[in-house]
Structure 1
Amino acid sequence: MDKDIARLAELFESSPVLAAVYDEFDRLRYANKAFRTTYFIEPEETPFWPDLMRRNFHAKRGTVIHAADFEEWLIATQSRRGKVGFRAFETDLVDGRWLWMTETVQKDGWMLCVASDVTGLRAKTRTVRQDRDLAIKASYTDELTGIANRRFVTARIEDMLQLQEDAETSLGCLCVLDIDRFKSINDEYGHQIGDLVLRDFAKRVHRLVRRTDCFGRIGGEEFVLTLPATPVGQAHLIVDRMLASVRKSRPLPEHPDFRYTFSAGIACAQSGNTAISLYARADRALYMAKLGGRDRIHTDDSPADRSANAG
């Protein structure tokens, strides 16, 4: 078996096909020579994917990124990266090559990336495919914040509920997040400032979202966070860190004293739940958080959630 693994490693290393493996935190764990050469990675380096993309963007190499603001592009891309079991897409390189990239993701978040050089394909055919990919991206992206939209995040809730329930593993949690007194912000400062607050909120929360999770805006000032295979106690800690981050935000330089908060409701997925019923429980918990004074988290108090907390 060891000889077979060694031979497989040799084949990958000599192959012109790009191959890489990322862990659940999006840190590179393995890359063959073709991948390292294309993305300018030293043999012993294990960078996080966002850091790799950021440094190559500023060095004007690697993937072609058509964005005036790299960080906005990064948020939009991470909102979809690693959220489904498999996806395939085309990507351009600064050196003129075109790659056909596939991402295969395990339930624990580890990802295999494989890419082949498809530069020789006819440009006309490729333009059609790129237009299709852009249309798909737009259909899953919230236009204002750049994160996932209702359609995409709802599909991820369904994916989470389809996971096999294990005696030792939670199906996961759904969190509904709502900016406190958002109507008053719009009324006092105007809708442009309200939009700025929404974008600030999305950026701050997104920084704390794991790659296995999905964070999206479902409308107005309401957002949803899916946390697959996450017990309710851990979900509470994750959202609590988000609360702390948002409390520190001062997004309006012309109003340095302005601050805002949010409230959150958490529901632990149970066997037999549908996306609608799970959302209803999380939304009910959000209502209780608002009723309790806002700027806080409330967990749905069903029997399954109480037992999860006890664990």
Structure 2
Amino acid sequence: MTDSGCSTTLMTNRYVGRFAPSPSGDLHFGSLIAALGSFLQARSNRGDWFVRIEDIDPPREVAGAASRILATLEHYGLHWDGEVLYQSQRSDIYRQILHQLYQQNRCYYCHCTRARIQQSDGVYDGHCRNLSLPSQDASLRLHVAQPVYQFHDKHLGILKAEPAFASEDFIIHRKDGLFAYNLAVVVDDHFQGVTEIVRGADLIQPTVRQIALYHQLGWKEPDYFHLPLALDHLGHKLSKQNHAPPLSLDHPLTILAEAMLFLGQPLPDDWQDASIEALLTWGIDHWDHNRIPVTPELTTHFPFSNDSV
């Protein structure tokens, strides 16, 4: 399959990274870990660092969150390259890719309900694959003819997926008309020329599906680097769904220092007297991804306090 006008990025050896939050809430400490890790990895490789707002699920979006996310990144000194990409403005590209996949018999319409899938132990069994069903009130599933059962993570090594999950024909366009995350993220990472995806370990599982879609589209997949996650004092993952508190705008230097320590990075002796720019410059110059904790599991972080660093 050709790019069909999907990619405008020239193929070069330049490193390209990205941070792609959804506007379902404000940034929290866990978000900062992902943003800072991807930022430092990109800048230490003298590469570009893009920001993308993944706003393709309006029911989950919080009013004003996208603008607050961007303002918070700037407040913490995490300045991006180029224009911010909004997925909500890319529907035509997604439809084009879906049309190409359908024309090549790589996806099909599915009318199965969640209740029916639950009867099959929660794993879709390909029931609609060869029925040539109409598009009305249907989701669109990728025919995973060549499943990806494992992948190499540049931080965690070889990671294996559950065979049933990896081989399941997964949804790329939802019945409610929304584009699926796995479709949009692959199309946009390819479009932006991303060479390495640095993100939280909570996104390890869908990686095999995304790689399978790269293969279906005839595109080279990027490298993957999954970071440890942060927990609150109750052992819950810091997330918007778990109502993690928004990042404070009052102590950005101290919180950045705490995030660098979380990622296993050293701090300069006089960091408390440094500017945010100086601390980030130090972080770039001394960045060593081998110092990041090597675990796909959650790593504990207790709520921020002024004396926690």
What TM-score, normalized to structure 1? 0.24
More strand by share: 1
> RCO greater where, 1 or 2, for CA within 8 Å and sep 6 or more?
2
Greater percentage in helix: 1
TM-score (norm 2): 0.24
